[in-house]
């Protein structure tokens, strides 16, 4: 952990085997979700049923039942703590990140923060960085989150690697789609990457997601 991290608080739910931490590094609130750890997580990961996303502004939106339950196992307490932190002087952004299952939880958490505008001081920016995240919701959810980020200048990056199978599940034929923007590493041991073409349309209100067949989907759609 960065030695400059302050106000660190760890959130754990034993029943769901979920964990996350929240801290502050200078002007940035950092929210990090742990990845898959044990059998409980795998049971939730394989729950491909979908549940309606709670924000009615996200019309027709569904998210993965298991990932949503795992986030909710931590979210009430995390949200309360985040509300305290966003009001601190000098806070400019909130960085949300996670690997594998943690990436899925981070994505839904970012959506929740976009929906809960009352949590944010004016101009507070969301940065969503996930690593090897599975697909989280349907196309309507992905389109809505993309447009919501675009309108206010939030940023989203989804890092994938050719040797990682997790980004290929749940499959698209189950109705799940990734949230852009994919950054694809088709290599071992170096830093070359591809900025994938996974967004169609302009302006923000007309954007729609796609998945670049030349990136992670080139291995398995």
What span, in angstroms and rounded, lies between the C-alpha atoms of 184 and 63? 24
Query: pTM score > 0.85 for this model?
Result: yes
Domain regions of the chain by residue span: 6-218
Q: Report the phi/psi class of residue 90: left, alpha or beta, with left for phi > 0 and alpha for psi in -120 to 50.
A: left
Which residues are identified as catalytic? Answer: 100, 164
Helix (H, G, I), strand (E, B) or coil at 27: coil
> Which of these, 116, 111, 1, lies nearest to 53 by C-alpha position?
111
At the second CATH level, the architecture of 6-218 is 3-Layer(aba) Sandwich (3.40)
Helices (H), the chain: 39-45, 65-86, 101-115, 139-152
Per-residue pLDDT of the chain (221 residues; tens, 9 = 90+): 676 788 899 999 999 999 999 999 999 999 999 987 766 665 565 667 899 999 999 999 999 999 999 999 999 999 999 999 988 888 999 999 999 999 999 999 999 999 887 566 667 899 999 999 999 999 999 999 999 999 889 999 999 999 999 999 999 999 999 999 999 999 877 789 999 999 998 778 788 999 999 999 999 87
pLDDT at 184: 96
Using the Cα atoms of residue 102, residue 51, residue 134 and residue 129 in order, give the sign of their dihedral.
Answer: negative
pLDDT at 135: 96
């Amino acid at each position: 952990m960065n030695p400059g991290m302050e106000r660190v608080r760890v959130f754990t739910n034993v029943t769901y085997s979920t964990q996350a931490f929240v801290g502050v590094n200078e002007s940035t609130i950092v929210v990090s979700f742990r990845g898959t750890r044990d059998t409980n997580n795998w049971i939730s990961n394989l729950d491909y049923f979908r549940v309606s996303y709670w924000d009615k502004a996200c019309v027709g939106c569904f998210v993965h039942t298991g990932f949503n339950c795992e986030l909710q196992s931590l979210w009430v307490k995390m949200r309360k703590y985040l509300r305290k932190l966003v009001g601190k002087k000098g806070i400019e952004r909130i960085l949300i990140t996670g690997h594998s299952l943690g990436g899925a939880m981070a994505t839904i958490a970012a959506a929740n923060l976009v929906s809960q505008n009352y949590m944010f001081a004016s101009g507070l920016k969301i940065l969503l960085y996930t690593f090897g995240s599975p697909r989280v919701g349907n196309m309507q959810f992905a389109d809505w989150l993309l447009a919501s980020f675009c309108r206010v200048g939030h940023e989203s990056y989804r890092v994938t690697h050719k040797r990682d199978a997790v980004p290929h599940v749940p499959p698209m034929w189950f109705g799940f789609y990734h949230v852009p923007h994919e950054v694809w590493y088709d290599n071992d041991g170096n830093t070359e990457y591809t900025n994938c073409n996974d967004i169609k349309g302009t302006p923000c209100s007309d954007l729609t997601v796609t998945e670049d067949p030349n990136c992670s989907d080139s291995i398995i759609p």
